[in-house]
Amino acid sequence: MVLMCCNPETPASAAEKKFMGLQPLTSGMHGYSLLRTQLNNDYFHDLFDETAKFEVPLEGHHTETGPGVYETALAYTTALRMADNAILFKYSAKSIGMKHGIIPSFMAKPWGNRVRDAKGKSLFAVSDSELKTGREGAANEDTKFISEEGEWFLAGVLDGLPDIMPALVPTINGYKRLVGGEAFWAPNAVTYGYDSRAASVRIISPPSVPSYATRLEIRVPGADMNPYFAMSAIFALGMRGIEKQLKLPGPPIGKLSPEDKKTGKVQMLPISLEAATERMMRPESIAREESVLGHDFVNHYGGTRQHEVKLWNEAVTNWEVERYLELA
């Protein structure tokens, strides 16, 4: 899935407004609206037609919850081609938008106090004989309809998730989405659960879907991530989990309470780019393992994220001026 927020603006009009008070393409909180998709058809038809020429097939397109927010489902294919298609789709949406006086943005959280969501997937099905009662030896009820390898893969992702956060959420703005936590369908802890949109990893398996549609939905990345980095990191952690036959870190999210986060029973994810980068670059970081991202990548990419944090720390924002101009 790719989420974008569209604005009937041009680069010039956005700059003139100092990037404040931008007009969304549609108003309101109309997720899955049948009416809102009837608007701006010239732009979206061009987008559908041109991405087809790029051989980027789209399975679906609809409004999501939030002003001007749309979700487009890219057709399933191989991992590398999925990453290619995500980049090609974003390029197409932006370049075609310029012709229609529209700025599509893939920021993780373009509006304050609004919902923002994002998704990624993997596949592990149980055998046909296990479809009725579930897999014997599963860690719990939530995992009984995914294979043992799938459970190991899930454990590997959860084990290394806090150490690869900059590969999943690479921008300052991306962490604004995580601060709201489950209330904004944005996970900020190492959690998993069957069909749970509040968890970091959502298990999608029978009985809610056919066996062949079994998959894991990694809900941490925002639309502003680099798909090559994000998918590589997720696959590497999952394969590490299979190789080490790792166990799940605890019960599913449905068995946890809000107090478990406060007491440390549940591991929290970094909620700023600075904290995430510091964790990824630690000597003992799982990201540094050669089977995951490796020292060279962590040092180079981590350096770019440190530079991003430095630029942010040096910036004087509108919020600061509004807050402190008279108060200070």
C-alpha pair distances (Å), 24 with each of 9, 95, 193: 9, 18, 34
pLDDT tens-digit readout, 100-140: 988 888 887 766 655 444 443 335 888 888 888 999 999 99
Instruction: Report whether pLDDT(28) > 60.
Output: yes
- Sign of the torsion angle spanned by Cα atoms 71, 65, 112, 263: negative
Instruction: Give the residue-averaged pLDDT of 152-175.
Output: 97
Instruction: Report whether pLDDT(31) > 80.
Output: no
For the chain, the structural domain boundaries read 2-105, 121-312
Enter the pTM of the model. 0.79
Q: With beta carbons less than 8 A apart as the criterion, state whether 22 and 67 touch.
A: no
Lowest pLDDT segment from 29-38, 39-48, 78-87: 29-38
pLDDT tens-digit readout, 229-247: 999 999 999 999 999 999 9
Determine the pLDDT at residue 39.
Answer: 80
Q: Which fold has domain 2-105?
A: Creatine Kinase; Chain A, domain 2 (3.30.590)
Q: Which two tokens stand for residue 295?
A: 């020292």
Q: State the SS3 of 54-78.
A: CCCCEEEEEECCCCCEEEEEECCCC
Q: Matching CATH topology for 2-105 and 121-312?
A: yes
Share of the chain above pLDDT 90, in %: 56
Q: What is the CATH number of domain 121-312?
A: 3.30.590.10
pLDDT tens-digit readout, 244-288: 999 999 999 999 988 888 888 999 999 999 999 999 999 999 999
Instruction: Report whether pLDDT(2) > 60.
Output: no
- Which helix (DSSP H) or strand (DSSP E) does residue 97 occupy? helix 79-99
Determine the pLDDT at residue 111.
Answer: 64
